Amino acid sequence: MLNFSSMNDFVMQKTIATSFMVEGKGLHTGEEVRVTLFPAAEDTGIVFQVIQSFRETLIPARFEFVAEGVRCTALEKDGITLLTPEHLLAACWGAGISNLCVQVQGRELPGGDGSAWMWWEILQRVGIKVQEAQQPIFPISRVIGIEVGKQSLFAFPAERIQVIYLLDSTSHGDFAQVVQFKEGEDFTSVARARTFAFEWEVENIIEKDLGLGVRNEALVFGRNGSSNRLLRVPHEAGLHKILDLLGDLMLFGPRVCGGFLGIRSGHRLNRLMIERLRREAQDYAN
């Protein structure tokens, strides 16, 4: 793996100190699933061992295996699809974990309360092991912009990860919020931010049988920004979008170093951005 590091300090690879098991309902499917996380050796990356009925495959958390997901990220290999790995991956980003074996018995990771808090709390409890190898870093060297309809996502050079996100209700109301997060800040607020939908999206979500595992937890926002549940943190919806972006960026491979500006963006633009960054990395290597 190429080392693109331009940071002044060395970022070492990490894994968990001991294994642990989690059971719960899939965020979208609502199906019971069992997940066991194991420490992994240096340069392993994050790998999912997916067991579905009598079939089994290993799916690395890499962009090559990203499949089209509906309101989530999905990974696919050998005809087996795994849904919603992004919240676990975001918790791994926050903890600096680069090597992990994740055994999943089911079609989806447990949704918890719709945030990454379950994963973040467990990672802190089991402990983090610093390894000997350096974590490859890819620095963003120029401004990159992606726009699809009314959604935009920009990347730009920065010494560390920083994300600014604008969320609004577009033509449906007057609701708007801007939130930001910088690497080195307390990750707790990001980890606790729950998944959400706008009230005009709910009927479609129900028709498609999505969000079955978190319907008692997820936030629903009205046209004026009012929520059906008490917010845990200010701008919780925008912070969840940052959570998703950080989780999706883990699929790039090397840890990305740079800034991002998201305007109504989501998983689709996150995937397109990673694809652009991969091309940048190939040009860099050549």
* Residue numbers annotated as active site: 267
Torsion angles phi and psi, residue 65, rounded to 5: -110, 10
As to burial, measured by CB atoms within 10 angstroms (0-12 exposed, 13-18 middle, 19+ buried), residue 68 is exposed
Alpha-carbon distances of 262 from 73, 126, 146, rounded to whole Å? 17, 33, 10
Q: Return the number of other C-beta atoms located less than 10 Å from residue 246's C-beta.
A: 27
Q: What is the CA radius of gyration of the chain?
A: 18
Q: Which of 36, 191, 1 is nearest to 114 (CA)?
A: 191
Q: Return the number of other C-beta atoms located less than 10 Å from residue 200's C-beta.
A: 14
Read off the amino acid at residue 48: F
